[in-house]
Amino acid sequence: MAKEVNIKIYGQEYRLRTDAQPKVIEECANYLSETMKQVAGSDTSSTPQLRLVIFAAMNIAAQLFECKKKKDEVINQVEAKTIAITEFIEDKISDIESSQN
């Protein structure tokens, strides 16, 4: 069931209705605020907030895609190792069975 959560992003307060855990939403809001501050750098007054949000969203999206890419690489490595181990075990079982006959 959706709950209302009050969050603060870059100094502005928002009320959201969400099914996510409030703590997760607050952590996301804090992360977005920090990313916006990094994008703004020392020039926080002259950069329009919409522009900061768009640049921050692009940075976060780039991080997400990089994480997905790394996850896929790890999954592929695990699958390859699993196949290699399975083949090794099957070969050893076959060797044992052959030596017993």
Rounded Cα–Cα distance for residues 52 and 35 (Å): 9
Inter-CA distances, 42 with 14, 32, 34, 35, 37, Å: 25, 17, 13, 13, 8
pLDDT (tens digit per residue) in 11-21:
999 999 999 99
**Sign (positive/negative) of CA torsion 64, 65, 70, 73?**
positive
Domain residue extents for the chain: 3-100
Residue 46 has pLDDT above 90, yes or no: no
pLDDT of the residue at 1? 80
Return the ∠ at Cα 19 (arms to 5 and 31), rounded to 5°.
55
pLDDT of the residue at 44? 65
pLDDT of the residue at 42? 73
Q: Which helix (H) or strand (E) is 12 found in, with range?
A: strand 12-18
